[in-house]
Amino acid sequence: MSCTEREKLFGYAHRLLDPREEHEVRAHLESCPTCRAAAEEYRKLDTLLEAWTPLEPSPSFDARVREAVERSGASRSVFGLFGLPGLRWMAPALVTVLVVVASVAVLHVRHGRRAAHAPAQASSMPAAPAADALSAPPTGAMGGEEELNLYQNLAVLEDYDLLAEFDLLSELPKGETKVEN
Partner 1 sequence: MDQDLDLMLRVRAGDSASFEELLRRYRVPLVSYFRRMLRDPALAEDLAQEAFLRVYKARARYRPDARFTTWLYRIATNLALNAIRDRKEISPAGDGESSDGEAELLPVVDSKPTVEQLLIESHRVRLIRDAIQALPENQRAAVILHKYQELDYGQIAKILGVSVSAVKSLFFRAYESLRVRLEPLLKGGLI
Q: Does 78 bind partner 1 (CB under 8 A)?
A: no
User: Phi and psi of 77, rounded to 5°?
Assistant: -75, 170
148-156 long-range contacts (CB < 8 A, ≥24 apart) are 150/102, 150/105, 150/106, 150/109, 151/106, 153/102, 154/99, 154/102, 154/103, 154/106
Task: Confirm if 167 and 75 have CB atoms less than 8 A apart.
Answer: yes
Smaller CB distance to partner 1: residue 31 or 47?
Answer: 47
State the nearest-atom distance from the C-beta of 20 to partner 1, in Å.
17
Q: Does 5 bind partner 1 (CB under 8 A)?
A: no
Q: Does 52 bind partner 1 (CB under 8 A)?
A: yes
How big is the site for partner 1, counted in residues (CB under 8 A)?
31
Task: Note the residues at the interface with partner 1 (CB under 8 A).
Answer: 6-7, 10-11, 14, 16, 41-42, 44-49, 51-58, 61-62, 64-66, 68-69, 72-73
